[in-house]
Amino acid sequence: MKGLLIDVTRCIGCWECSNACAKANSLPPVDSLTRATGADLSADRFTVLRKVELGDRGRRYVRRMCMHCLEPTCASVCPVGALHRTPQGPVVYEVDRCIGCRYCIMACPHNVPRYEWDEAAPRVRKCVLCAPRVARGEPTACAAACPMAATVFGDRKELLAEARRRMVESPDLYEGGVFGEWEAGGTGVLFLSDVPFGSIGFPSNLPDHPLGANTEAVLSHLPDVLLIGGSLLFGLQWIIHRRDKLAEEAEAVVAEGAAAKEDAAGRPLVTNGGGGK
Amino acid sequence: MDALHRLLRPTFWKLVFVLVVGAGLYATWLRFTKGLGAATALSDRFPWGIWIGFDILCGVGLAAGGFTMAAAVHIFRVKRFEAVVRPAILTAFLGYVLVVFALMFDLGRPWVVWHPLVMWNPHSVMFEVAWCVMLYTTVLALEFSPMVFERLGWSRALRRVRRALPYFVVLGVLLSTLHQSSLGSLYLIVPTKLHPLWYTPLLPIQFFLSAAAIGSAMVLFESRLSGRAFGHELPAAVRVDLARVMMVLLVPFALLRLADLARRGALGLAFEPTMEALLFQVEFSLGVVLPIVLVAIRRVRHSPQGPFVAAICAILGFVTHRLNVSITGMDATQKTGYFPAWTELAVTMMIVAFGFVAFALAVKFLPVFHRVAAESDGAEAAH
């Protein structure tokens, strides 16, 4: 299970990761203007650097990209299974299944997937952890391009061990543990930082469990609703119709009786069959 | 041609219709040639707008009279509601057809809308929603078909449908229960994005309860409008009973809403000087408490206008709640300042206009209201 370890303390903001990503995914190249002014994720930019000014603590560059969740919310919500996580780790997208409901974009707790809003046949776009390269046994383009080893590629287990080793080695440097170890069930992309994650744009309110559990808990009751609801409704209908039928028959009998004997018992015993034919 | 002349004679509402449909068609052209970006104010941070918030969430909810009235008449044999079961089913059928129509605008790749039939992800609420829409629209078509068969005089088809009707009705109630609640479940996935005044694990139950309550409100509303236009008023006793049903279902919704806010410690948020708090107050006081109070007062309940006014309040409150969940509550965290583009509004208004015209045409040409006094549906369904 592959992933990335991104150490914010090592990043110098050169944008080579984004540029390599653009080449690997045939996206427009990262020009000097983008490097200078920055950019957000978009349908043709799968990873960017967010420049964060922290006053006296200086400046940080934080990579933004798909986090490749271990239990991806996007894959859980997609009605047609257009998004799924491969056994190797990348969360990938199949446009041939997608119906364009954009529930993945709504649901992603990291606000990652982007849409081709100006296309007549739009696709969802995001980093796929260079799935074809990873399948060939190569590292992702961004990790291969990073001159500072701020982004390293490897097995998630080993990357976590490496992150812990760094934290033990420099106990005063890092803050806030490893982002991605548990967040929303854990992510394939792990971050280390020397400033609180909340201060450099990471969501701080994510639960430790996968978000898909929220909806799957409700969906698991669906068969119960059908079985109990269905049998109850049919049963009720059967009882009520039977009761009405008996009431009508009783009414008919009473009416006959009344016709035969002038001085009948009076009104029928039933109270609710009055509206019949 | 006399009929043609009558059709072409301009009236105020015909002019409005032509203008709305004209604007809607332009927006349609823009949407399908230039993409969602050109026709909507949607963005990656705000991917669902008014087409989901109003056309789908409210559209489906406002169609709920179809299953509540069908259940009342065909399962519980409430004879008094036999007069309104047909208009309720007609509204639901038209509502669902228009929801599917609206979905074609919102889906990025509507030509593969059938994919959920063959590509399954049972973990997805959207998958459940897709199946519910497909199945319940089919059931509604069957529940609606007697009106057409009767009109055409196809008595054999009519008899067959009537014999199967109780089964369709039970199926329809089940599908509606799932569908109404699943629209709320859709938002269970965004605990960090939806404002705590609206996010709750109880969203599916709240959506179901509010839809069930609004079913009777919609029947009151539309029978009043079409009553005006076609001259058939509901009997006073039926009006009062519909209002009562609405109230009885709104009360648990109101209590559940308050209890849930209190339990989650979010009640204080309702009194802070924020836009969200203000919209919550409007939604809850005018849209939930006021209709309950109106119906609770005997004099209002029995007045000719009372039930109708209470129904309007409840419907507006219902729409506000669903828009608060889908738009206000989401933008509270996403901060995009989303407001629908005029083209989004034009499409929505065109769809609403189609709904009104389709309802009017159906009432005019099909036995929707005027068979009311004759033999009852419910009684025949039993044989």
Other Cβ atoms within 10 Å of A109 Cβ, number: 24
- In this prediction, residues B125-149 reach a mean pLDDT of 96
A-chain residues within 8 Å CB-CB of B181?
Answer: 218
B-chain residues within 8 Å CB-CB of A233?
Answer: 71, 75, 170, 173-174
DSSP secondary structure letter of residue B233 = P
Nearest chain B CA: its distance from A30 CA (Å): 21
Taking a C-beta distance cutoff of 8 angstroms, is the pair A44, A185 a contact? no
Nearest chain B CA: its distance from A263 CA (Å): 30
Percentages helix, strand, coil for chain B (3-state, rounded to 5) are: 80, 0, 20
Nearest CA in chain B to A119: B35
User: What distance in Å separates the CA atoms of residue B302 and residue B239, rounded to the nearest whole number?
Assistant: 8
User: What distance in Å separates the CA atoms of residue A42 and residue A114, rounded to the nearest whole number?
Assistant: 6
A-chain residues within 8 Å CB-CB of B193?
Answer: 106, 109
Return the SS3 of B370: coil
Q: Do B122 and A219 touch (CB under 8 A)?
A: yes
Nearest to residue A42, comparing CAs of A111, A139, A120, A134?
A111
Nearest chain B CA: its distance from A84 CA (Å): 11
Q: Do A111 and B191 touch (CB under 8 A)?
A: no
Q: Do A237 and B201 touch (CB under 8 A)?
A: no
Taking a C-beta distance cutoff of 8 angstroms, is the pair A16, A146 a contact? yes
**pLDDT value for B377:** 44
Phi, psi of A138 (to 5 degrees): -95, 160
Cβ-nearest to A277 among B47, B190, B379: B379
Taking a C-beta distance cutoff of 8 angstroms, is the pair B192, A109 a contact? yes
Residues 6+ apart with CB under 8 A from B37: A117, A118
Nearest to residue A151, comparing CAs of A34, A27, A64?
A64
Tens digit of each residue's pLDDT (9 = 90 or more) over B43-54: 999 999 999 999
**pLDDT value for B7:** 75
User: What distance in Å separates the CA atoms of residue B57 and residue B35, rounded to the nearest whole number?
Assistant: 23
Q: Do B76 and A211 touch (CB under 8 A)?
A: no
pLDDT band at B364 (very low <50, low <70, confident <90, very high): confident
Q: Please report, for residues B4, B283, B324, B329, the alpha-carbon distance to residue B276 in angstroms, rounded to integers and kept in the order given.
A: 51, 10, 8, 7
- Strand A2-7 relative to strand A189-192: parallel, antiparallel, unpaired? parallel
Rounded to 5°, the CA angle A217-A221-A225 comes to 155
From the number of C-beta atoms within 10 Å of its C-beta (0-12, 13-18, 19+), residue B129 rates as buried
User: Structural domain boundaries of chain B?
Assistant: 45-381
Nearest chain B CA: its distance from A20 CA (Å): 24
**pLDDT value for B370:** 62
pLDDT band at B1 (very low <50, low <70, confident <90, very high): low
pTM: 0.91
Lowest-confidence region among A24-28, B5-9, B137-141, B376-380: B376-380
User: What distance in Å separates the CA atoms of residue B316 and residue B61, rounded to the nearest whole number?
Assistant: 12
Cβ-nearest to B107 among A77, A101, A109: A101
Cβ-nearest to B109 among A98, A106, A226: A98
Helix (H) or strand (E) holding A232: helix A230-260
A-chain residues within 8 Å CB-CB of B189?
Answer: 73, 76-77, 103, 106-107, 211-212, 214-215
Task: Enter the tokens of residue A223.
Answer: 């068969």
**pLDDT value for B379:** 40
Q: How would you classify residue A89: left for phi > 0, otherwise alpha for psi between -120 and 50, otherwise beta? A: left
- In this prediction, residues B92-100 reach a mean pLDDT of 97
Handedness of CA B218, B223, B229, B230 (dihedral sign): positive
Tell me which of B119, B171, B207, B330 to substitute to probe the interface with A (most A C-beta atoms closer than 10 Å).
B119
Q: Please report, for residues A218, B211, B288, the alpha-carbon distance to residue B181 in angstroms, rounded to integers and kept in the order given.
A: 10, 9, 19
In sequence order, what are the beta bridge partners of B100?
none
User: What distance in Å separates the CA atoms of residue A180 and residue B307, rounded to the nearest whole number?
Assistant: 55
Q: Do B166 and A275 touch (CB under 8 A)?
A: no
B-chain residues within 8 Å CB-CB of A216?
Answer: 123
What does the radius of gyration of chain A's CA atoms come to, in whole angstroms?
31
Cβ-nearest to A100 among B109, B122, B204: B109
**pLDDT value for B83:** 86
Could you give the maximum distance between any two Cα atoms of chain B, in Å?
Answer: 68
Q: DSSP string spanning B4-61?
A: HHHHHS--HHHHHHHHHHHHHHHHHHHHHHH-HHHH---BTTB---HIIIIIIIIHHH
- In this prediction, residues B341-368 reach a mean pLDDT of 94
Nearest CA in chain A to B106: A101
Topology of the domain covering B45-381: Formate dehydrogenase/DMSO reductase fold (1.20.1630)
Cβ-nearest to B107 among A99, A116, A118: A99
> Cα torsion at B353, B356, B357, B361 (round to 10°)?
170
**pLDDT value for B373:** 39
Task: Enter the tokens of residue B254.
Answer: 């109101």
pLDDT at B212 over 80: yes
Helix-helix angle A212-219:B155-185, to 10 degrees: 150
Q: Could you give the residue ranges of the DSSP H alpha helices within B289-328?
A: 290-296, 298-302, 306-323
**pLDDT value for B369:** 80
Q: Do B115 and A76 touch (CB under 8 A)?
A: no
Per the listing, tokens 């047609």 go with: A80
Q: Do B48 and A219 touch (CB under 8 A)?
A: no
pLDDT band at B371 (very low <50, low <70, confident <90, very high): low
From the number of C-beta atoms within 10 Å of its C-beta (0-12, 13-18, 19+), residue B287 rates as buried
- Strand A59-64 relative to strand A83-85: parallel, antiparallel, unpaired? unpaired
A-chain residues within 8 Å CB-CB of B344?
Answer: none
B-chain residues within 8 Å CB-CB of A78?
Answer: 121, 124, 126
Tens digit of each residue's pLDDT (9 = 90 or more) over B237-286: 999 999 999 999 999 999 999 999 999 999 999 999 999 999 999 999 99
Taking a C-beta distance cutoff of 8 angstroms, is the pair A237, B166 a contact? yes
* Stretches in chain A below the pLDDT threshold 50: 264, 268, 270-277
A-chain residues within 8 Å CB-CB of B109?
Answer: 98-100, 121-122
Tens digit of each residue's pLDDT (9 = 90 or more) over B152-180: 999 999 999 999 998 999 999 999 999 99
Cβ-nearest to A80 among B77, B110, B121: B121
pLDDT, chain B, mean: 92
Q: Report how many Cβ contacts below 8 Å link chain A to chain B.
A: 170
A-chain residues within 8 Å CB-CB of B34?
Answer: 118, 120
User: What distance in Å separates the CA atoms of residue A51 and residue A46, rounded to the nearest whole number?
Assistant: 16
B-chain residues within 8 Å CB-CB of A82?
Answer: 119
> Cα torsion at A22, A24, A25, A29 (round to 10°)?
20
Tens digit of each residue's pLDDT (9 = 90 or more) over B276-313: 999 999 999 999 999 999 999 999 999 989 999 999 99
Q: Do A103 and B124 touch (CB under 8 A)?
A: yes
Cβ-nearest to A215 among B43, B174, B185: B185
Tens digit of each residue's pLDDT (9 = 90 or more) over B19-60: 999 999 999 999 999 999 999 999 999 999 999 999 999 999
Cβ-nearest to A237 among B107, B119, B170: B170
Nearest to residue A24, comparing CAs of A123, A144, A114, A110?
A144
Q: Do A100 and B123 touch (CB under 8 A)?
A: no
Taking a C-beta distance cutoff of 8 angstroms, is the pair B214, B62 a contact? yes
Q: Do A117 and B127 touch (CB under 8 A)?
A: no
Taking a C-beta distance cutoff of 8 angstroms, is the pair B60, B53 a contact? no
